[in-house]
Amino acid sequence: MSFNPMLSPREMLNKGIFGGTYFSELIDLSAFPQDWFKGLDEIYYRSSKYRPEVNYFKVKSGQSQKEWEEKGWMHKDDPRGWFEWYCKYFMGRRHEDDQRQINRWLSFCGPKGRWRNIIYKKIYEAKCEIDDSEAISRRVQQSLLHWSYIVNENDYKIWVNANR
């Protein structure tokens, strides 16, 4: 299976992810292209407080840094987790942790990913069109956005054909 996130880190930041807190600690912001942050209020990426209103779906989604660490999801080179790894991968870094992170992405939102399948099942059961699906499980959709995945018509049709 291939690793095909839908958005660049800049696009993700501009949509609104992680309650604006992602770059608030443990990361040297100067290590990333400054154009990712150009024109973006710091509340979208350096907030010291999680702000659900910053998120695209306006909900709190995800777990805390402490919970991530307790679950062993962190690599010492990427102390802020998957998105930090993805930013570096997007910039061209290849690393010993790549396969593990790609497998986590696939498990979360790849073609057979748990949360991707959950959201499409919920949309199907709600009998709504993809264009009208933003109100369906906003927390799940925000979590998918944290993994650079957006619900879309093409993937939904594939899901329906495979699951009906």
More confident residue, 52 or 71: 52
Instruction: Report the alpha-carbon distance of residue 150 to residue 35 in Å, rounded.
Output: 23
List 75's β-bridge partners, or say none.
78
Token pair of 80, please?
Answer: 């802020």
Distance, in Å, from the CA atom of 108 to the CA atom of 117, rounded to the nearest integer, reads 9
**pLDDT one-digit tens code per residue, 38-52:** 999 999 999 999 999
- What is the structure's pLDDT at 1? 56
User: What value does the mean pLDDT take over residues 88-116?
Assistant: 97
38 token code pair: 């150009």
pLDDT of residue 107: 96
**What is the model's pTM?**
0.94
Residue 75 backbone phi and psi in degrees, to 5? -110, 145
* pLDDT per position as a tens digit, 107-158: 999 999 999 999 999 999 999 999 999 999 999 999 999 999 999 999 999 9
